[in-house]
Amino acid sequence: MKTITSIKNAKNSEKLVMITAYDALFASLFDEKVDIILVGDSLNNSFNGRKDTLSADLDMMIYHTKAVLMGAKNTFVVTDMPFASYTDEKIALKNASQIYRQTDAQAVKIEGGKERAHIVKTLTNNSIAVVGHIGLMPQFARSEGGFKIKGKDSEDIQKLIDDARAIEDAGAFCIVVEGVKEEAGKAVSEAVKIPTIGIGAGKHMDGQVLVWSDMLGFFEEFKPKFVKRYLNGADLVKKAVEQYTKDVKSGKFPNDEFIY
Ligand code: KIV
């Protein structure tokens, strides 16, 4: 099982693999198969059916983290701090402490660059391990008018580098970099000593993260360009359930094999 030290040491020696999980069943399937499980607030989209992550709250994150930890006994687990749960240092410390006290999550993740570095510092100064998240930040999508790819010009790349360095200096032990041009992902990864974990950030990152329901093909509504589907989950499930319905309606199930 990874630790904060081994995650940091992975930089330049081993690619890190992160996947999201929201419940015990899937977390148990992912346990020990990946380096890090993220209880992402993306659960609000793929689990809860909402358009964005903003209505995920602390109670939901704690509930799902507890469930994930029941399944993922041997994997490093990170929990997202939900929208508006870290608006200042005091609120952030109160809410992150609640996550630490009520779950065994090993770290929390916070969206934001330079402007949130003081929050990261407060948490790390109080023994709460922090993963940063820069680039396209889903919690900012509503105020920014949509999901905008970042790092499109040299000024924007420099901003990302400054953000990553500020988060690193504040004590984060790794950074998720989402939705940036590959060149920007490379520049950020080269600019910091802590590992960068990319999602839609290209191949030069120190690791990759995907949302489980995207990569296993369960979420059909929309497929971002960066998602590789490793399974056609939705097709398989729908076909299986249609078959079950046919079998029950026709009297084929249960046959002698399935009765006491
Ligand atoms: O909430 C989430 O799943 C995330 C990933 C997209 C990195 O933050």
Contacts of 119 (CB under 8 A, 6+ apart): 86, 88, 89, 92, 110, 112
For residues 2 and 27, the answer to whether their CB atoms sit within 8 Å is: no
pLDDT in tens, 192-209: 999 999 999 999 999 999
Ligand 1 centroid to residue 236 C-alpha, Å: 25
Q: What is the pLDDT of residue 121?
A: 98
- Which of ligand 1's atoms lies nearest the C-alpha of 109? 8
The residue behind tokens 């929990």 is 79
Q: How many residues does the chain have?
A: 260
pLDDT at 158 over 90: yes
Domains, the chain, with CATH or none = 4-229 (3.20.20.60), 234-260 (no CATH)
- 221 confidence band (pLDDT: 50, 70, 90): confident
Q: How far is CA 241 from CA 53, 238, 245, in A?
A: 29, 5, 6
Q: What is the pLDDT of residue 12?
A: 93
pLDDT at 223 over 90: no
- Whose Cα sits closest to atom 4 in ligand 1? 40
pLDDT at 95 over 90: yes
Mutate to test the pocket of ligand 1, among 18, 30, 42, 212 (most ligand atoms within 8 A of CB): 42
Buried b or exposed e, range 173-206, using 16+ CB within 10 angstroms: bbbbbbbbbeebbbbbbebbebbbbbbbbbebbb
pLDDT at 46 over 90: no
- Whose Cα sits closest to atom 5 in ligand 1? 40
Marked catalytic residue, from 14, 178, 183, 220: 178
Task: Check pocket membership of 199 for ligand 1, CB cut-off 6 A.
Answer: yes
Can you tell me the distance from the alpha carbon of 144 to that of 86, in angstroms, rounded to the nearest whole number? 19
Closest Cα partner for 37 from 52, 55, 17, 53? Answer: 17
Catalytic site includes residue 178: yes
Percent of the chain residues past pLDDT 70, beyond the cut:
100
